Every structure is written in structure tokens, then in C-alpha cells.
Amino acid sequence: MDFRKLQNIDSKPSLLGYGCMRFPTKDGNIDEQAGFELLKAAVSGGVNYFDTAYIYHNSQSEGFLGSFIARHMKDRARDSYYIATKLPTWAVESLDDAKRIFAEQLQRLQTDYIDFYLLHDLKLDRFEKMERLGVYDYCRQLQKEGKIRHLGHSSHENAENFAKIIAARDWDFVMLHLNYMDLDNLKLYESAVEKDIPVLAMETVKGGSLSNFPENIKKHLTEGNSSATPSSFAMRWAGSLPGIKVILSGMSDLTQVKDNINTCSDFKPLSEQERAAVKKVEADLRKRVRNNCTGCNYCMPCPADVNIPWCFSIWNNYSIYENRGHSNWEWSMVKPQNRPEQCTECGECTKICPQGIDVVADLKQVQQTMEEIKW
């Protein structure tokens, strides 16, 4: 296993980090036996960084990780591995909320301190709320007390707002969504690198969407490297960025664990031939998009309260990647009153769309597709 030291931080995590949000489940709960076997295999392969969050697995993930560490890592020095977890910024309405949640996280994880503590999914408006409530300063106080080692945040923000957040306060590290299809996020990465902030990469395989392709697309990768899996290409694309210190992966079976350990041991950046193969995959995947909605929101608000850009985004993502599980999960986040079935066909959206999309017709296609693929 490779290890990359984080600049300005006395920590050297494994290049592969275990993302604890996709464990196997049984009857709606984490399958303890299967999950423990995955974690043991990861530890045996050199993984020492474990990333969880207050909400993962319906708030079961932290307690599950804590149980694993208590049972299977009790003979290891506490400073030989790193625990990362996150404060749900959207759920914090007072400083007391933050204090209560942090105390609960320590109890769940059965630890006296958190190595990497993140403000979860920190959008600009949430950051401003955290500032008003004094949460950032509270976390820095916890750091002085030794209850937090390093303070950072995870971000799915746009580049402009992300730059404002990292300019407003000091951050020990950041966690960013980085993969070869969501290239706009490179702007966030570049902003962090300019400020010498270590970057941890998440969603490098895009929730599994970059791990399995039709043969006519997969052949590009095979021609670039016949022995590498699609997942390894995606992870190596992220790991080839010099500012990346950890590549997170939510591994749910032993095949994934072994492949990722192999990828992150004696790590090799993508060759020019492999980069060219990734470019071909990217181009072919983009051709699969169903419409060219840019999310400009000119069509919003919809008189019938349909969330048009969100519905199109989910539809296009399914068309590109055919990741049925992920698309169903995304669709479950859309409230019924915001779905295409509420469309009254008034046509106001079509009239104003800068891309010339027949919005009404495409919304019907969205509803039909999501009905067809639902579990």
C-alpha cells in the first residue's frame, strides 16, 4: 500500500481510504459478518484510513465502524490508523446541536478523538450558518483539546462558492468529488492546491458508474491496458493528480477491495496511452446523453412545481451510465410533488428554454424511464 504525507499535517494515511457508506446489507441493516470481512481484508492490505459520517447507512455506519475497531483493531496503536467522520451541517441549527452530535459520534466510534473531522457537504449558505452559530470556532477549540486532529470539509459546491469558503477560513484539508466525467470539479481542486490545502478525492468511480461499461466503450480501456479494470482507470485518473493524498472508495465486496488495494499499491499514474483511452471513454459516454439541459434554471420555477433541471439530470445520468441502483436512489430524493407526473403541459418552460429543448415531451420520457427502471 502506498502512503502520501499530507503537507502541513503530521499524518500519513494510506492512499486507499475505506468509505463506509456502501457496506453489504441484510434486512435493511449492515451485514455485520460481511462488512467485518471487507474491513479486515482492507486492513490486511494496508488501509489505515476509514471515512464515515453521522448519516451513513441510516446512521448505523459510525457505530458499525466503532464496533469493528474495538473488536478487531484493539491490539493496534491508536495512532496507527485514522478515523474520519462528518458533522451534518444541514441538521445543525444551534451550537448545542453540534456539541450533541460530536459527543454522540465519539460514543458511536468508541474513541477519544477524531483524526479527520469534516463539515459535511459544506455549501456557501451552510458555511455562513456555521459561522453565525460559532461551529467552526468550536471545532478549532476541540482541536486544541485534542478531540479533533485535523479539521476540513467535504464539498459539492461550485467553484466560485468553494473559493469563498476556503478563503474565509483556514482548512487542514478538503474532500472533493473528482472523476474524469465531472471535470468542472477540477476548478475546486486547483483552488485548493493554490492554497496548499491537501485534497482527499471522493466519488472517483462516481458511485460505481465508472466501473462497468458496455463492451463498445470498455474496449477503449482494454486497448489502453488489457489487465486494468475500469475502476482502476478511474481511481488512477484521480490519483495521478499531484495534490491528491487519499482516494476514497465505498467498497461493498471483496473483489472491489482486492482490485483497489492492487491499484493503490506501488501506484502508477496513467500513461499517455491510458489517458487517451480515458478520453475516448469520456467522449463516448457523453454521446449517450438524452438532452442537453445545462441546469441554467431558466425554466424555474415551474408553475406545477416540477423540478425540471433535477429530473433531467437524473434522466441524463441514467442514460449515460445505466447505473440503475444509483439512479433509483437519486429519484427517491425527488419528492412526488416535484416529479414530471405533475406537469400540466402549459408549455411555458419550452418557450423559454435557451437550449431549445421540448421540455414537456422530455419530461414524459423521464417519467417513463424512471417507471421502467424502478426496483
- Please say if the pLDDT value at position 130 is more than 90: yes
Domain ranges for the chain: 16-280, 308-373
Backbone phi, then psi, for 108, in 5-degree steps?
-60, -45
pLDDT at 8 over 90: no
Distance CA 243, CA 227 (A): 27
- Report residue 179's pLDDT band, with 50, 70 and 90 as the boundaries: very high
Model confidence over 39-94: pLDDT tens digits? Answer: 999 999 999 999 999 999 999 999 999 999 999 999 999 999 999 999 999 999 99
Structure-derived torsion over alpha carbons of residues 105, 108, 113, 118, reported in degrees to the nearest 10? -40
Q: What CATH number does the domain located at 16-280 have?
A: 3.20.20.100
Query: Taking residues 157-168, what's their average pLDDT?
Result: 96
Confidence grade of residue 9 (pLDDT, cut at 50, 70, 90)? confident
d(CA 102, CA 54): 9
pLDDT at 7 over 90: no
With contact defined as beta carbons under 8 Å apart, do 48 and 83 qualify?
no
Dihedral sign for Cα atoms in the order 223, 228, 231, 234: negative
**pTM, to two decimals:** 0.90
How does pLDDT run across 252-295, given as a tens digit for each residue? Answer: 999 999 999 999 999 999 999 999 999 999 999 999 999 999 89
Provide the Cα torsion 99, 93, 302, 368; round to 10°.
30
Predicted pLDDT at 306: 97
Residue 207: is its pLDDT beyond 90? no
Nearest-angstrom CA–CA distance, 343 and 333:
18
Rounded to the nearest 10 degrees, how much is the dihedral formed by the CA atoms of 296, 301, 306, 309?
Answer: 10
pLDDT > 90? residue 101: yes
User: Helix-strand-coil percent breakdown of the chain, rounded to 5?
Assistant: 50, 15, 35
C-alpha cell at 157: 459546491
